[in-house]
Structure 1
């Protein structure tokens, strides 16, 4: 069982991270989760009812410790994801064209099989070729399904990146507003 957290959220406050289904309340909050959340934006401190006296130092230490990108957050830009999707779409188009050619060749071979073979033809060779084409078609279909699934996952990741970007923009706007308010308060105090 995890150690009791040094951080406590305000009543009704919930922490969740973009792209993750886990939600945290005071009941399941850990120091690491709280420090990760505060490292994202120090203004998030307003969600906490209790913070340790050295919370800023802890958050700085957490940020420094995870500066190598080991926090498992996605590091792909939207442009990179879209480029990968474009590449996968091209692969899918190529696979579909290859499948169409194989389907046409199979249909042609099956139509030839309905006629009696000429004296110099060996029907077993055609049967082998048809079977080989069917196996290639099956492999191409599997590859197409895998590529399509990967493309769909990339599309989801792009959507997640867009949502995360929107959230970061909102946090940035709130932070700018807070800095502007603090500056105005200081100016009024003088």
Structure 2
């Protein structure tokens, strides 16, 4: 087959015979070009319109591609097709590339009889195709594994930083709770001491009132006023004692709450550390 320029010149020269009918040499050229481009014969070669249709297809194809097609290494027999498993694609002549045929033969070497033409070394080509695809798969797997490893390292570093921050915060909270507990213990101790003093004072006042009640001296009015004062003092002391007891109970509740919070915080810190 001639060069692209020579072929296009021949096709242009044939335009003058498009309506009147192509010559025998014209038809031979169209037959060769049709086999080269489309991998098949022109149907119904006794029909002038069939050659006209073939001429239009060939001329437009070459004008668009701006080059002569390369002779295919693999040509299917008439009516044969290739259907890659798992796809909706079907291939007939001309095959888009040698890879289509070599992929098919790598999986179904017993189907070699589907081809009307194939290279003498087709088995070596198919083996090379399989090796190339295996290498591509291996390289892809290594790249994906490397990417997964990098992602895992990034995630682990991030999780480690978050865990460190959580542990620091937990330690600070534990220290704060420990200080609150110490302050609360001091306050409770002080209230217990104050309660003991108030209890003694109330007991002394009760004793004094009892002694005054039994006394029947001449200065009853004066003593009565003193008794009233003592009663007021006793009532005040009792009120202070009750207030101290209430505060002591509240502090006990607060102390239990702090202990519970401290326990939960320690448990959470232990889980984070795991």
Normalising by structure 2, what TM-score? 0.33
Normalising by structure 1, what TM-score? 0.47
Q: More helix per residue: 1 or 2?
A: 2
Structure scoring higher RCO (CA < 8 A, sep ≥ 6) equals: 1
Structure 1 or 2, whichever has the larger Rg, is: 2
